Chain A
Amino acid sequence: DQQVKQNSPSLSVQEGRISILNCDYTNSMFDYFLWYKKYPAEGPTFLISISSIKDKNEDGRFTVFLNKSAKHLSLHIVPSQPGDSAVYFCAASKAAGNKLTFGGGTRVLVKP
């Protein structure tokens, strides 16, 4: 039972353009969402988060949007840079500090 899904396993984008990564969840009890970035042979690193009381959170080139009614969130990277090439995981929890449930990841390739 996959409660957090990332339906696009991979994404290729040109440098300077926007990358949009999508994530869907099924558990309506989730109210805290996070994005992690993972390079090969390294552990995931925290990127950005959003609480269910917000619909948008921005941090530099990264913006996360949350649509609670659709149980959908997205990560926008603008502009995309070659160093953004990595696997991105969406994660959700029932409250900050609770167990994280991860999606399967989306591999992003930013072409120079």
Chain B
Amino acid sequence: EAGVAQSPRYKIIEKRQSVAFWCNPISGHATLYWYQQILGQGPKLLIQFQNNGVVDDSQLPKDRFSAERLKGVDSTLKIQPAKLEDSAVYLCASSPDQISTDTQYFGPGTRLTVL
């Protein structure tokens, strides 16, 4: 079974530029999560999708971050414009459904550096 795929693995941009990250969850997984992990901290949930609907985006900085999962499969997270404090690893995770907290499978992440 293929795992959660993310691309790119690394990205370096200058502040005020835009960037987009892509995630392809495990086949058949209805729930998809985007997390931000700042160096030295634990992952923080940014947004949770159930199929193509948003379940929780309470911690997403909506003035600059956006995410979509149009067909209920893969997802894109965008930052526009980026700030220095957005430097972090962006993790995507998926699970079969909303109830299966134990079975959140994480991708390898995208490491973003904002200069």
Does A46 lie within 8 Å of B104, measured CB to CB?
yes
Does A98 lie within 8 Å of B101, measured CB to CB?
yes
- The count of chain A contact residues (Cβ–Cβ below 8 Å) is 24
Q: Mark B72-109, 1 if CB is under 8 A from A, else 0.
A: 00000000000000000001010001111111111111
Stretch at the interface among B12-20, B38-46, B61-69: B38-46
State A41–B98 Cα separation when bound (angstroms): 26
Chain A residues positioned under 8 Å from B44 (CB to CB): 102
**Majority secondary structure, B binding face:** loop
Does B40 lie within 8 Å of A104, measured CB to CB?
yes
- The count of chain B contact residues (Cβ–Cβ below 8 Å) is 24
Does A34 lie within 8 Å of B106, measured CB to CB?
no
Name the one of B91, B101, B106 contacting A96, with C-beta atoms under 8 angstroms: B101
Q: Does B32 contact A (CB under 8 A)?
A: no
Q: Does A81 contact B (CB under 8 A)?
A: no
Does B42 lie within 8 Å of A46, measured CB to CB?
no
Q: Does B48 contact A (CB under 8 A)?
A: yes
State A44–B91 Cα separation when bound (angstroms): 9
Does B93 lie within 8 Å of A43, measured CB to CB?
yes
Q: Mark A85-108, 1 if CB is under 8 A from B, else 0.
A: 000010101001111101111000
| Interface pairs A-B: 5 shortest CB-CB | A43-B106, A102-B42, A97-B99, A96-B101, A97-B98
